[in-house]
Amino acid sequence: DPCRYFHCKRGKVCHVDKHGKPSCICQDPTACPSTKDYERVCGTDNKTYDSTCQLFGTKCQLEGTKMGHQLHLDYMGSCKYIPHCTDYEVDQFPLRMRDWLKNILVQYYERDLDTSGYLTEKQRAKVKKIYQNDKRLVAGDHPVELLLHDFEKNYHMYVYPVHWQFHQLDQHPVDRLLTHSELAHLRASLVPMEYCITRFFQECDGDQDKLIVLKEWCHCFGIKE
């Protein structure tokens, strides 16, 4: 089988021509295998696709068009209603997310006190300083003014959580760049409650190259060079 070791990127399948030569052609979205409801995904066009096969097949067929270039996997699951994000709300977003990241790490540290495995030894050493800080703002729905005051007063507690999240997302591949698909893992858990996240990351991408480097990421969260 000429296609056996012939690799095609997502959205394409191997096809053998009449001369027996393999090549990659777009996957027909209607020919994708049937899937369960929980395998549905939401595209950046805010349209629900039955599977990643259907989404990437559609993207392939739109190759060369603006719509095809802009279509990506946004998050797993059917598309949710996302309200319009105001300028005021997008300005608040990094305050809430910095606090959320700090508290996620503290929760991991607390769980590791009973059962280790959530954090590496190096990560535990970093988070321990945050955990033991008597000025730590405990998790809760705090006013924006309090979050801003705490960030200015206890800046050092927020630096590591922001760096940690960047490296958690930078996995496919590890190249110190965040792609749209790598950011999708974060959007999956945040979109229902943080509808400003897509706009926030678009504005983080200062040079508009569809990639977020560590410097852009930290700048978005108010972390100094």
Q: What are the pLDDT digits (tens) for 143-193?
A: 989 999 999 999 999 999 999 999 999 988 899 999 887 887 777 666 555
Q: Classify 169 as helix, strand or coil.
A: helix
**Percent of the chain's residues with pLDDT above 70:** 96
> How much is the pLDDT for 65?
92
* Residues 126 and 188 occupy one common structural domain: yes
As a whole number, mean pLDDT of residues 64-87 equals 86
As a whole number, mean pLDDT of residues 45-70 equals 92
Q: Report the 10 Å Cβ neighbour count for 169.
A: 17
Lowest-pLDDT range, 68-72, 100-104, 138-142? 138-142
* Residues 68 and 117 occupy one common structural domain: no
As a whole number, mean pLDDT of residues 30-40 equals 88
Provide the mean pLDDT of the chain.
88
The answer to whether 60 and 26 are in contact (CB under 8 A) is yes
Pick from 50, 151, 61: nearest CA to 99: 151
Q: From 51, 76, 101, give the residue that closes a domain.
A: 76
Distance in angstroms (rounded) separating the CA atoms of residues 16 and 120 = 48
As a whole number, mean pLDDT of residues 101-127 equals 88
Contacts of 216 (CB under 8 A, 6+ apart): 204, 205, 206, 207
Distance in angstroms (rounded) separating the CA atoms of residues 146 and 139 = 12
Task: Provide the residue type at 62 as one letter.
Answer: L
> How much is the pLDDT for 191?
57
As a whole number, mean pLDDT of residues 187-204 equals 74
* Residues 208 and 144 occupy one common structural domain: yes
Distance between terminal CA atoms of the chain? 54
Distance in angstroms (rounded) separating the CA atoms of residues 112 and 93 = 29
Q: Provide, for the chain, the percentages of residues in helix, strand and coil under a 3-state DSSP scheme, each rounded to the nearest 5.
A: 50, 10, 40
Instruction: Give the domain CATH number at 26.
Output: 3.30.60.30
Q: Which residues constitute the domain of residue 213? A: 87-221
Is residue 81 a part of any domain in this protein? no
> Domain tally for the chain?
2
